[in-house]
Structure 1
């Protein structure tokens, strides 16, 4: 009798699901693997878009749910949320007894996954290690690299960095980013295939999108969280002054999110924003379709650096959140300046789409990762490489 290897994948936030969706599918379809999907943290919360609803709609069976987010969106809440995550995930892992735990990227909830698995001697696989951004995410990402046993990185530079951290070359693989798998599916799309207002609701005006539109996704910066309201107000002023059809997405759960959200609500009440519509969340593929047919993405989301580079979508990247991350040819960096943001947006619209960049993969990461999870030796100890 063939015993399937049990793979526990922990999804903690809406971007994490898009990052790992094709991996989940490939694991689920693999004859020798059993998927144990754990959904936790902000992925379960309505105020951040209830990513869990999209996960269930896509047909994935959830093995466990972990509610561990403390309200407050500040540094103390983030630290305590991490601690609660360790407690709760330890219980889940003890119940499910996975052969491998998979954790994604660099969020504080991801750290909880890595610590719990490591202390329980469960082999840990990390997706998207080795990258740099210059904020708290980088500390978390590199810490998880040292806790992880297998590394599925998204670029050659990331692979080199993981190796320089002393990891075993036999356990480091440049698979590309699984989110590019989804982007590849929409790359050749000729028109937006759905009405975003009808399908996703949201609030605000409903501008005509037929002659082009902007997309905004701006999160707080954890190392600058006290300035999150000031930061978002600069972007709001620029978008208001340009007065172009704009689809704006709500921020994530990071420290400073209260300031970002409050800034948006206050500005919206004062100015009405006659050409802006707000969404909490979208299915990953629909969001990429929306980006694919937009004129420009504005903000500081990594989707601008990764998926938009592959899709050739112009990006105005604001501030330090993506500092030092590898770039394709689609983005321009600006400081928090209303005038500079406006100029950069108009210039991006004028230049139009850029050439697709495969810097973060070419669209087959999910299958590669599933195959590696099936054949890699089960180990939770380190081979010293330094």
Structure 2
């Protein structure tokens, strides 16, 4: 084991806003833990002006950035970008020689980093394994990362069972919860006045937060979902905050559509990046989340918002009673949006599947890493059920 004294050197890779909000509390906890030498590697969308250059937000929080990995091309190309990511991550794995690499989720560049770590014989800690998104290619990459990983920190017992179904050692599957929910307990969130200044509009009730990402499996036209959503928005009076999509295939078409559609609409604020702080502050004033983002499965319900999940991108994820699924149909979305603004869906049924408890998940993650025998897990054995 390559350690500094008795400290474990853990590299943490973040590739954009989509995973830093999940990782933030863990990164801060690891940075402040005397038994860990946390090395933060920042790359991909974080470094691009087009995607809001969220690297600057990380820097403003006082967390040292050990490496900046500029592997995202212009325009983004998943095959070429992943190839560059694998090479760049491989190089810093050799130069920094961490004891383990912590990865979250399911993006192509994250899988590329996992491949690099496998070839460099660096154990992998994987967050949010075992989850399902049937409408996205992310699904295959998430499960592939599970098979490359050595310590599985999952968000729910059902997901842990799925990881074990893939032959992983139950001793190395730990249910820690969803670390992104730690943002609920921050005491540094922007005020409503600061939010309104940033967004450029008043947050008059009802506030609807909209995010539509490309559905990378099944749906041929990436704009069809966003057209159905925007048509419903035109019919239902509300204050709309729209966050632009990620760099997945089809994202550019959705981005261009929103930019053109939002012109001259005074009740719409269009933003590239909110940052975890503004995002969670905004959730406190949000009545409805609309779209197909994974944050609608977790963050939205935990903050008390009703969630309208459009299409099948998130099929397979656990849900609670604040979430309603709807097809890519403008009339159905409109009807559900009107209902979501008027009612509190949680009152219509008990919580199911998710129990949003009050303990910081980042502390469970630190505890699991502290107990983990890294050397004993590098050679993996398939565990049959």
Compute the TM-score of the two structures, normalised by the length of structure 2. Answer: 0.92
1:299 equivalenced with 2:291 (yes/no): yes
Instruction: Give the SS at the match of 2:30.
Output: helix
1:334 corresponding residue in structure 2: 326
1:144 corresponding residue in structure 2: 145
1:76-225 alignment runs, 5 A limit: 77-134=77-134, 135-185=136-186, 193-198=192-197, 200=198, 206-224=200-218
Question: Is the CA contact 1:233–1:264 (under 8 Å) kept in the aligned structure 2?
Answer: no
Q: CA deviation at 1:283?
A: 2.3
List per-residue Cα deviations over 1:239-289 (Å, max 9, x = no partner).
1222321111111111101110121233235xx323111111122132112
1:1-386 alignment runs, 5 A limit: 2-73=5-76, 77-134=77-134, 135-185=136-186, 193-198=192-197, 200=198, 206-224=200-218, 226-269=220-263, 272-352=264-344, 354=346, 359=354, 361-362=356-357, 363-378=359-374, 379-386=377-384
List per-residue Cα deviations over 1:333-359 (Å, max 9, x = no partner).
111111111111111111126377782
Instruction: Give the SS at the match of 1:354.
Output: helix
Q: CA deviation at 1:361?
A: 5.0
Instruction: Give the SS at the match of 1:101.
Output: strand
What number of residue pairs does the alignment pair up?
373
Question: Is the CA contact 1:154–1:361 (under 8 Å) kept in the aligned structure 2?
Answer: no
Instruction: Give the SS at the match of 2:313.
Output: coil
Structure 1: 4+ residue segments shifted above 6 A: 355-358
Q: CA deviation at 1:226?
A: 4.0
For structure 2, the residue ranges without an aligned partner over 5 or more in a row are: none
Compute the TM-score of the two structures, normalised by the length of structure 1. Answer: 0.91
Q: Aligned partners of 2:280, 2:340: CA distance in 1, in Å?
A: 18
Question: Is the CA contact 2:196–2:202 (under 8 Å) kept in the aligned structure 1?
Answer: no
Question: Is the CA contact 2:262–2:268 (under 8 Å) kept in the aligned structure 1?
Answer: no
Q: CA deviation at 1:155?
A: 0.4
Deviates more, 1:368-377 or 1:143-152: 368-377
List per-residue Cα deviations over 1:35-66 (Å, max 9, x = no partner).
10000111221211222111111111000011
Q: Aligned partners of 2:9, 2:207: CA distance in 1, in Å?
A: 44
Instruction: Give the SS at the match of 1:246.
Output: strand
For structure 1, the residue ranges without an aligned partner over 5 or more in a row are: none
